[in-house]
Amino acid sequence: MLELQGIPVSPGVAIGPALVLDADGYSIPRCYVNETDVADEYHRLQQAVDDVSRSLEENRLQTSAKLGNSTGDIFAAQLQMLHDPRLAAELRRRITELQQSAPYAVSQVLHSYAAAMRRLKSTLLAERADDVIDIEKQLLHALGAVRSAPLKELTEPVIILCYNLTPSETANLDRRFVRGFCTETGGAGGHTAIVAKGMELPAVVGVGEFLDRVGQSTQVIVDGDHGRIILNPDEATLSRYRSGQEQQRIFDRTLEQLRDQPAETTDGTLVSLNANIEFPHEVAACLERGADGIGLYRTEFLYLASEQEPSEEDHYQAYSQVVRAMGDRPVVIRTLDLGADKMGHRPRADNERNPFLGLRSIRLALKNQDIFRPQLRAILRAAVHGDVRIMFPLITTLAELRQARMLLNVVGEDLREAGIECRTDIPIGMMVEVPAAVLMLDRFVKEVDFLSIGTNDLVQYTLAVDRSNESVADLYQSSDPAVLRLIEKSIYEAKKAGLPISVCGEMSSRPARALLLIGMGVRSLSVPPNALPKVKKAIRSVSIKECEEIAERAMTFESAREVDIYLADRLRALVPELLHQ
């Protein structure tokens, strides 16, 4: 049994057999072989090396004939790498001494060579690193390892263990068979984490290197509540986790009874409790759990989950489905937030060194109006079916907001002139997720109808910490006093201007932090569907005075740690049932 610690990003416990994917999504069916199979495994590798050599030599000859010797030499260099004596010795050692399977040894050794070359930061070596990865892929192919296909063809429950999963790969996981996942990289605020929560898939990320410790058909426990992963658990651990799962089911059933109760404090202050969704099908879970509305519809996932760029009609169908299903409850449709870790169908500019500071979100939408216009048209058309509100993400300057509003006006006029049914009088809001926007909020409030604080990005940009980087995950805290001060200022400016303000970042889904936000004056929260019951339970267990006391005291601390210790203390006293939720 081996227990490893990572970052908990999506709650729940999953137990099942491991499916290990290597860094490029190749499925490595077995990482280790029996002692008696070592000789055969080594022979398999030698055959794969011969096959790849032959194909490289063919490529060299054909390319030289067509494009000249200097181009053909690319393959000559790859051949030389493939027959490098140190590489051959290391592969042999891993298979014969460590009993690694041939694909696993290939994947491990060639990836570490490529990583070492990239670390040297020379353009020439970086290109060489790509050649190394190319050889790895050819060898894996020759060894019968298949790329991604197993994820599409699953027939049994699995737990995915891999280097990384992108948000779109996560969105495309087959929920019927994938019970949970665990990755070596990734941080708490990344969109992969958010999608996992939306799919109610227990997940742990940022464990660091561990895949080489996963044996053949290892049983795994993913403990998404505590960020733990347990390989080959013993019987006692398995039964402890199984009974924990049962207790959780019982507790969840008691919370189900709150579905039709309002999110109201013990002394009658009403909080609007809404849900965040990525896909239309999540509406069912929102309704089942009594959401007051959709507080954040992350529309970019329409791009991430489909093979072709969505058309205006695709947008319209998706939005209409959500709006109709929600009846007269509000639906806040956030415009495309593509870029950074959420890439669509167009390749990212290759000179983006800091994608989170680059062409993402509203910036990308304004620069690519051929993508943005169809979405805006679809939103205005879908608005005839219910209470639709539109929200622009990552607004940093007034000029951006004005440009977005202007485009919306133009699109609305186009629709009307063409006699297409639409609504152009819908409320327009902006996300507050950049410190610059908070500092300028006294101006922004004059030009929008509502605000929503996106703490996931606000934390990232305030504390200068990449939300999906496990190495700085300990700094990524929405309870940091600097973040709390920005939230406090946002609430102050909204109140002064008489504008509704909500919090739709992940912060609001943690019960103690939700109480803190309410104490600071927030009366509207938006959380992933699976967090609705516990946040409602927290709200219904406290008075507004208790929330205000929490806020007043929390604002006096100097570090996130002090704030968290205090919040845990208050939660233990006020709603002990939720302490471990």
Among 209, 168, 213, smallest CA distance to 185 is for 209
Among positions 169, 184, 457, 546, the unique one binding ligand PEP when judged by CB under 6 A: 457
Q: How far apart are CA 212 and CA 210, in angstroms?
A: 5
Torsion of CA 71, 75, 80, 81, to 10 degrees: 110
Q: How many CB atoms lie within 10 A of CB 149?
A: 11
Helix or strand (DSSP H, E) at 475:
none
Q: How far apart are CA 9 and CA 197, in angstroms?
A: 7
Structure tokens at 552: 């007043």
Name the segment binding Mg ion (CB under 5 A); options: 88-96, 448-456, 520-528, 547-555: 448-456
* Minimum CB distance to ligand PEP, residue 21 (Å): 25
Q: Is 454 in the site for ligand PEP (CB under 6 A)?
A: yes
Q: Where are the alpha helices (DSSP H) in 464-558?
A: 481-497, 511-519, 532-540, 544-554
The binder of 194, among ligand PEP, Mg ion, none, by C-beta within 5 to 8 A per type, is ligand PEP
Q: Is 454 in the site for Mg ion (CB under 5 A)?
A: yes
Among positions 22, 41, 223, 433, the unique one binding ligand PEP when judged by CB under 6 A: 433
The binder of 218, among Mg ion, ligand PEP, none, by C-beta within 5 to 8 A per type, is none
389 is in an annotated binding site: no
- The catalytic site residues sit at 191, 504
Strand partners, 18: 159
| Three-state secondary structure readout of 261-304 | CCCECCCCCECEEEEEECCHHHHHHHHHCCCCCEEEEECCHHHH
Among positions 184, 278, 457, 493, the unique one binding Mg ion when judged by CB under 5 A: 457
Task: State which of positions 504-533 bind ligand PEP (CB under 6 A).
Answer: 504-505
Q: Where are the alpha helices (DSSP H) in 83-218?
A: 85-96, 102-119, 123-142, 149-152, 167-171, 191-198
Q: How far apart are CA 153 and CA 146, in angstroms?
A: 11
Please answer whether residues 89 and 105 qualify as being in contact, where contact means their C-beta atoms are separated by less than 8 angstroms: no
Cβ-based nearer residue to ligand PEP, 292 or 300: 300
The 10 Å CB-count burial string (b at 16+, else e) for 66-80 is: eeeeeebebbeebbe
Q: How far apart are CA 289 and CA 315, in angstroms?
A: 26
> Does residue 336 sit in helix, strand or coil?
coil
Task: State which of positions 279-298 bind ligand PEP (CB under 6 A).
Answer: 296, 298
213 is in an annotated binding site: no
Q: Is 339 in the site for Mg ion (CB under 5 A)?
A: no
Q: Is 277 in the site for ligand PEP (CB under 6 A)?
A: no
457 is in an annotated binding site: yes
274 is in an annotated binding site: no
Task: State which of positions 46-75 bind ligand PEP (CB under 6 A).
Answer: none
Task: State which of positions 425-444 bind Mg ion (CB under 5 A).
Answer: 433
* Minimum CB distance to Mg ion, residue 361 (Å): 7
Name the segment binding Mg ion (CB under 5 A); options: 19-27, 134-142, 454-462, 550-558: 454-462
Task: State which of positions 142-171 bind ligand PEP (CB under 6 A).
Answer: none
Q: How far apart are CA 332 and CA 489, in angstroms?
A: 23
Strand partners, 15: 221
368 is in an annotated binding site: no
Name the segment binding ligand PEP (CB under 6 A); options: 6-14, 144-152, 451-459, 468-476: 451-459
Among positions 31, 159, 194, 401, the unique one binding ligand PEP when judged by CB under 6 A: 194
Task: State which of positions 296-335 bind ligand PEP (CB under 6 A).
Answer: 296, 298
467 is in an annotated binding site: yes
The binder of 136, among ligand PEP, Mg ion, none, by C-beta within 5 to 8 A per type, is none
Name the segment binding Mg ion (CB under 5 A); options: 343-351, 383-391, 455-463, 571-579: 455-463
* Minimum CB distance to Mg ion, residue 342 (Å): 10
Please answer whether residues 7 and 204 qualify as being in contact, where contact means their C-beta atoms are separated by less than 8 angstroms: yes
Residues in contact with Mg ion by CB under 5 A are: 433, 454, 457
Residue ranges of the annotated binding site for Mg(2+) are 433, 457
Residues in contact with ligand PEP by CB under 6 A are: 194, 296, 298, 337, 433, 454-457, 504-505
